[in-house]
Amino acid sequence: MKKNSKSPMKKEQKAKWAKAQRPVQREPTEVLAELVEKLRGKLEVKATSASPAEAGVRGELSPNLDRLTVGVDLGDQWSHFCILGLQGETLSEGQVRTREAEVAEFFQALPPARVVMEVGTHSPWMQEIIAGEGHEVVVANPRLMEGSKRRKRKNDRIDAKKLARLGRVDPQSLYPIRHRSREVRQDLVVLRAREALVAARTELINATRGLVKSMGTRLPPCSSPSFGKKVKDAIPETVREALLPLVRLADALSDCIQSYDQKIEELGSEKYGHTKLLRQVKGVGPITALAYVTLENPELFAKSRDVGPYLGLVPKQEDSGESQPKLGISKTGDTMLRKLLVQSAQYILGPFGPDSVNAMLRQLTRLRPPIIVHKNSRAASAAQYFTPPAGLLPQAGVGKPARISP
C-alpha cells in the first residue's frame, strides 16, 4: 500500500522533469528583440559598413575580427544561426524561418556582419537578401570542406557554429563560391526543366519496352521523338490497353520538349549571341552552348584548362604514400553541364568526329592501357575542346576565339 500511494507523486515528478527538458517555444519577434538588445550592449557599431554592391565574396578573404560573424545552417523550413562577437564568443543561437520576409527582418536588425552559409537550394536567394541588408555573405562549398566522417556529433546547431568559427578565422578553408545572377538562373530554369522532361520521357519509354519484353515480344528500335508513332501498332493486344497511356504521355512530353528547344534557340540567338562561337565545334548544339555560357564568371578561370577541373572532368585523387590509385572523375560542379559536355565529347570521339581527334585517340591507346583511355578520354577531350571562358562567357573582355580543331 505504501508503494502504491507514492506512485502518483513519482509520475507527476517525472512529468515535470520531462517538461523542463523540452525546448521552450518562443515567438521569433521576441527572440529577435532580445538578441538586438543584447548586441547593443556588446558591440559598438562602426560608421563604415559594406554596401550591397560590395557585399559578397571579395577575392582573397581575410579573418573577420572587427565585425560580427554569423553562421547559418540552411534548412527547408527553419535555418539555425550562431552569432559570434569580436572575441569569438557566442552571443546568440537560435532559429529563423526560411522565408524571405523573416530572413530580411532578422538581418535588417543586425549590425554589418559576415554571414557564412553552405551552398544549397535556398542559398542563392538568401545571399541576395542578406547582401542587400549591407552584410558580407560567404557561401561555402561543403564538398571541398573537411567532411564530418570523424565527428561523433552532428546537428544543425553544431553546423551553424562550425560555419561561424571557420568564417571568422579561416574563411579560405570554406572554399567560397559565387552564385550566378538571378537573370542567368532564370534562364537556367528553361534548361533544367527540359532536362526533367527528357528524364521523364526516358523512364516512360524504358518502362514500356521492358513490360513488352516480359510478354515475350520486342518493340522496334526508334528515336525518342518518334516513339509513339513507331510502337503504337507493335504493342501486343493483351497489354495494349495498359501500355497505350504510357505511349501517349511520352508523345506529350516530346511535344513539350520541342517547345523548350525553340525557347533555347531564341535565348541563344537573341540574348546569348556568343553561343554561335561554341556551335562552330562539330558536336556542340544550342543546349550545350547555352549551358556553357551561363557559367557567367570568366574571371574564375585563369586559363582554358581550368574549366575541366571546375566541372569535375578530371580524375579524383586519393594518394597516400606510394599508393596512387586510378580513380574516376571527381564529378564536382554543374552536373547538367558536365553531362552535356561528355555527350558532345562522345560525338567528337565517335565516327562522325574530326579525323584529327580519332588519330589522337589512337595515339593515346598505344601509350596507355585501353581501359584507362576509355574511362578518361571523354573527360579530357571535353575539357580540351570547350574553351576558352574568357572569350565566350558573358561580361567577358578580350579572349581567344573558339577552338575548332586540336
Q: Give, in order, the Cα–Cα distances in Å from 300 to each of 187, 295, 338.
A: 21, 10, 17
Of the two residues 260 and 311, the one the predictor is more confident about is: 260
144: which residues sit within 8 A by CB, 6+ positions away? 175, 332
DSSP readout, 245-299? HHHHHHHHHHHHHHHHHHHHHHIIIII-TTHHHHTTSTT--HHHHHHHHTT--GG
Q: Which one is predicted more confidently, 348 or 78?
A: 78
**Of 246 and 149, which is predicted with more confidence?**
246
341-361, pLDDT tens digit by residue?
A: 888 888 877 777 777 666 766
One-letter identity of residue 141:
N
Is the separation of the CB atoms in 114 and 67 below 8 Å? yes
Residue 331: DSSP 8-state: -
Comparing 51-60, 108-117, 155-164, 303-312, the range with the smallest average pLDDT is: 51-60
pLDDT, residue 69, reads 95
Query: pTM higher than 0.85 for the full model?
Result: no
Tens digits of residue pLDDT in 220-265: 999 999 999 999 889 999 999 999 999 999 999 999 999 999 999 9
What stretches of 110-269 show up as alpha helix (H) in DSSP? 123-132, 156-169, 182-213, 227-231, 237-266
Torsion of CA 281, 282, 287, 292, to 10 degrees: -30
Give the other-Cβ count within 10 Å of 82's Cβ. Answer: 24
Question: What residue segments make up the domains of the chain, in order of their start?
Answer: 28-174, 181-271, 302-318+326-406
Average pLDDT in the chain: 79
Please write the tens of the pLDDT for every residue from 316-333. 888 888 888 888 888 888
What is the per-residue pLDDT for 123?
Answer: 95
* pLDDT value, residue 18: 52
Q: Report how far apart the first and last C-alpha atoms of the chain are (Å, whole number).
A: 95
pLDDT tier at 371, thresholds 50, 70, 90? very low
CATH of domain 28-174: 3.30.420
Helix, strand or coil for residue 338?
helix
Residue 106 confidence (pLDDT) above 80? yes
Whole-number Cα distances in Å, 367 to 40, 133, 351, 361: 68, 57, 21, 10
pLDDT band at 304 (very low <50, low <70, confident <90, very high): confident
What contacts 381, CB < 8 A, 6 or more positions away?
345, 348, 349, 357
| Strand duo 90-97 + 78-84: pairing | antiparallel
What are the pLDDT digits (tens) for 192-231?
999 999 999 999 999 999 999 999 999 999 999 999 999 9
pLDDT of residue 312: 86
The residue with greater pLDDT, 8 or 236, is 236
156 or 44, higher pLDDT: 156
Where residue 363 falls among pLDDT bands split at 50, 70, 90? low
| Identity of residue 124 | P
